[in-house]
A and B are shown apart, each in its own frame.
Chain A
Amino acid sequence: MSKLSNRIWYGTFHRHEDVHQPSWLPILAWIGFLALVAAWRLRLPFVETEALEIHRAILDSLTEGQIWGRQALVGSFEFPPFATLALFVARGLGGWLGLPPGHLLVAFSQVWALFYFLRLPATLRGRVASGLLVFFLLLFNRETRHILYQVDPNWAMVVPAACGLYHFVLWCRSQSLRDIILLGVNCGLLVFAGPAGFLLGLIMLAAAATRILAQARGSNLPSDECRGVNLLAWAPALYFVALIFLANWLIMRDPGFFMRRLLHNLAYAQDIAQTRQTLHPTAMLSWLTGGGMLVALLKMRDQKHRPWAAAVAGGLLALILLRGGLDAIEYYPAGAAALAIMLALAGLLIPAWSFADTHLPNRQHPAWLPVESCLLAMVMILGVLAPAEPVPEPEVYAPPPPHRLEILATIDRRTPQTRIMIHGLQTPARFLDLREERFVARLDFDSQTIRQYARDEDFFYLLVPPDNGRYYSPGHPLAEIHRAGQPWLVLETIWPGNWQLWRVLPESEQL
């Protein structure tokens, strides 16, 4: 650095030898390398998803200051705020770089994950690489490869996940305070990343807590310090959970709104899974999460339980492969070759995994145990990213909605320029109306609000999507309306695919 720039940055009070000169070369080398990888990734295919469409709609609504945008940001856990806000940042940067925000977000997230993997210390990286065989195995599957190409804002979750995993691995080796703090902070961020992120964070924290307690039991860590370190690890996640409740209270006027909605949707996901021949990703989520946690806990416990952990891990792998195989058959009726390759690899890998886990001495390295558990969690992310993109369903399960102009033409014939209430996420995203001129969107269903609109505007309509579990869960009030109506609603039109348009009656005209 020249004398002049030293004076500008550090002033004239300093003496030259005082100035700390960071070494810029490695930093610039990293930036250059990652920029090259990102450029390469940007040239690979991108597949637009419905998740992108919905997050984009939430973001547009949010920046317009609409109620629905705010509601969707905090009240929908399956389209989590982390992804929406990441898209917001990507939109700003994308506009500057002249790139589509979704592409930029996906490329950045994937390169970021790679960056953290490459930063792992060489000895660990070798072991992690062996574990990543599972990951590459998944790439044989068309569907999982397809996930890598998807422009899904949920990819943003990989950033805190990779960062958290990296610091977890380092912490297991060095017990450095900074690593456990960054693990805690990243797990805290994962709270905002939807169920998958939340559970991944939980797994990492549980694994860390188990290790901390094991150290305390082994007298390597004083109990005071053990309490403190545990607090540092858990505090961000617990605080951010509290923040979600607070945000729901502030915006939805119901602190538990997001949770109830999530539980309803999970219940629905099980229903829809039965309509397919393969295992649904959400079902996979519960298996993998439970299994991953069990593996982590068994591994942390003691030597005696490690074979059990290996068995559970093998079972989870088998489950993933089974799903991949079944999908291969479904997507390619003549896909026996792909299935055969996967089964052959599985036949080799699972016994090798189990044997190595219980017999090889180098697997006893303390850092290896949580790495394995977290690899399972990473696999889980890939499995779980899929639910954001609804399962491609046959037309019978998800008939296309009527066109926006068709709906408007229908009501304009009777009551020109009147408005329609729409609910949930998919429907408002499809009929996004940033000025609320024709469509008024809400995440929650409140009959009082709808009737208030009817009183104020004389003519007011309610659009009810088909009751196939895609747009609302079976127990939702819209399901009841779709089935039997309400005394304050008059059915106006039914479109093909069972989309219903109801006219809302003011109180004086109730049936």
Chain B
Amino acid sequence: MPIEPAKPAMPTFHYPDRPVFHQAIVTFVPWQKITAATLAAILLFWLIVAPYYTLLAVNAAITVFYISSMLYRTLLIDISLRRSRDITIERSALQPPNGEWPRYLVQIPLYREGAILPHLVEAMKNLDYPSDKLEIRLLIEEDDEETMAVAKSLDLQKPLVIFPVPVSYPRTKPKACNVGLHDSEAEYLVIFDAEDRPDPDQLKKAAVAFTRVAPNVACIQAKLNFYNPRQNFLTRCFTAEYATWFDLCLPGLDFLRAPIPLGGTSNHFRLKVLRQMGGWDEYNVTEDCDLGLRLFANGWRTRILDSTTWEQACPRLGNWIRQRSRWVKGYIQTYSVHVREPGKTTVGLGIFNNIHFHLLIGGSAFSQLINPLYWLLAIYWIFSRSTALSDFFPGPIFVMGAVCLFVGNFLFAYTSSIACVRRGRGDLAIYGLLMPLYWVLMSVAAWKGFIQLLRNPHYWEKTQHFENQ
């Protein structure tokens, strides 16, 4: 059963008629804590009794995990390159389904985004959709005077409306989105971020796409990419990473009918289904990823739309690390929430989807945390040729480890280059090969997120957006 929330310092928002589902209000439930503690105790015991064999076994298990991740990624990308299943809507097909366009609700949660708000309004005005069928809600926290003042000064016209979000706990983006979910007559809903610039015809494409897909498709995810890819090294690598995820991995998952962790914005939903699902988990800091899995577990599917929303890549390291640490924290939260009923999850997902779930959600966070250790070991071994270290890499483990180190790392970097070329940014392909430097930063952020998860799990590391350069 879900855990009751702890007493917050401010009132908690009340959701009328909300279905019950597992939430990240506590990161680990008691049985998970007991299991983790027991496993840690067993490991410690064996480390004392037989340190060599224990470390050898741990090393073997991690090496097998690395090999599996490598093979999995290769398969996913090959499928994506071979037979992509994105929904492609030609311009000529952008006709109102059943004679008229459905009502669309756009939600844009804003918090301290006054500086970027005028650009957002411009981007929203560019959306090509009948204004009488469209409502664009700017979800602004009631106590965010700065954003509220800018919004009021812009003299907003319909379909843009200010939608105040009452001050309540937790102070997260999904909470704001949930508040905006009610009292709308729309058929479809999409979430955008403050700095987003969606392709102008994206709403029309999504509306047409919903009529073409199976009735059990509840969400259509548009692709995300950046409008400032060449600003600095960080934005170049970030672009390569995003292209890998949205242009290579997600289409592969789509083809395999696998659970798809949603991206933070540009997810188009059937509003009715979203309400049935209870909206987003306001305690989860990657609420979109959680929702994607929850949809899947309830028999709903997500598809990928060949339309892009252009975002801003964080050009500043500190800001980027904050954003990334939140993502890793959220992935661990999501993983923890979805294994609370391990039997149900395992049986429900089946063998194939279990592989997707564990490698994509648990595996990606785990590898970011564990990578630095193995990089340091590799560097130490190359320069010291330590025989003590070699003892932990006997024959087959050494071969697998060497494959991961010399082939696996290259493969991951190479796929980033592939993604850049596929995205039409061939000049950034070289930065794909420099991704190992970027991975170091990812691991730094992962550790920050992991530590924060233990100390302050619901804290929302706000991504600061900058005026366009």
A contact set with B: CB distance below 8 Å: 6-15, 17-20, 63, 65, 177-178, 181, 222, 224-229, 231-232, 235-236, 239, 243, 250
With contacts A13-B353, A18-B216, A235-B433 taken as known, whether A225 is within 8 angstroms of B426 at the C-beta atoms is yes
**Shortest CB distance B250–A (Å):** 16
Q: Which residue of chain B is the closest to A17 with respect to CB atoms?
A: B214
Q: Contact between B216 and A15 (Cβ–Cβ < 8 Å)?
A: yes
Contact among B81, B297, B347, B382 for A250, CB-based, below 8 A:
B382
Q: Contact between B255 and A20 (Cβ–Cβ < 8 Å)?
A: yes
Contact among B347, B385, B420 for A11, CB-based, below 8 A:
B347
Binding-face segment, B61-69, B262-270, B410-418: B410-418
Q: Contact between B350 and A225 (Cβ–Cβ < 8 Å)?
A: no
Q: Cβ of B385: which chain A residues have Cβ within 8 Å of it?
A: 250
Contact among B347, B349, B395, B429 for A232, CB-based, below 8 A:
B429
A366 to B19, CA, bound (A): 61
Contact with A along B342-375 (1 / 0, CB 8 A): 0000011111111000000000000000000000
- Tally of chain B residues near chain A (CB < 8 A): 40
Q: Cβ of B354: which chain A residues have Cβ within 8 Å of it?
A: 11
Residues 274-329 (chain B) with a chain A CB within 8 angstroms: 296-299, 301
Q: Cβ of B296: which chain A residues have Cβ within 8 Å of it?
A: 13
Q: Cβ of B214: which chain A residues have Cβ within 8 Å of it?
A: 17-18
Q: Contact between A178 and B81 (Cβ–Cβ < 8 Å)?
A: yes
Known: A10-B350, A224-B427. 11 other contacts (CB 8 A): A6-B350, A8-B350, A11-B349, A13-B350, A15-B299, A20-B255, A177-B421, A178-B81, A224-B425, A228-B421, A232-B429
B96 adjacent to chain A (CB < 8 Å): no
A227 to B429, CA, bound (A): 8
Q: Cβ of A8: which chain B residues have Cβ within 8 Å of it?
A: 350-351
A174 to B214, CA, bound (A): 31
Q: Contact between B425 and A228 (Cβ–Cβ < 8 Å)?
A: yes
B422 adjacent to chain A (CB < 8 Å): yes
Q: Contact between A20 and B406 (Cβ–Cβ < 8 Å)?
A: no
Q: Cβ of A12: which chain B residues have Cβ within 8 Å of it?
A: 347-348, 350
Q: Cβ of A250: which chain B residues have Cβ within 8 Å of it?
A: 382, 385
Q: Cβ of A10: which chain B residues have Cβ within 8 Å of it?
A: 257, 350-353
With contacts A177-B421, A178-B81, A228-B421 taken as known, whether A13 is within 8 angstroms of B257 at the C-beta atoms is no
B400 adjacent to chain A (CB < 8 Å): no
Contact among A9, A15, A177 for B350, CB-based, below 8 A:
A9
Q: Cβ of A17: which chain B residues have Cβ within 8 Å of it?
A: 214
What are 16 A-B residue pairs whose CB atoms fall within 8 Å in the complex? A7-B350, A10-B257, A10-B352, A10-B353, A11-B347, A12-B347, A13-B296, A18-B214, A18-B257, A222-B426, A228-B426, A228-B427, A228-B429, A229-B421, A231-B429, A232-B414
Please list the 7 inter-chain residue pairs (A to B) with the smallest Cβ-Cβ separation, ordered nearest first: A228-B426, A11-B350, A228-B421, A228-B429, A178-B81, A225-B426, A224-B427
Contact among A13, A177, A228 for B299, CB-based, below 8 A:
A13
A432 to B414, CA, bound (A): 40
**Shortest CB distance A278–B (Å):** 41
B256 adjacent to chain A (CB < 8 Å): yes
Q: Contact between B352 and A236 (Cβ–Cβ < 8 Å)?
A: no
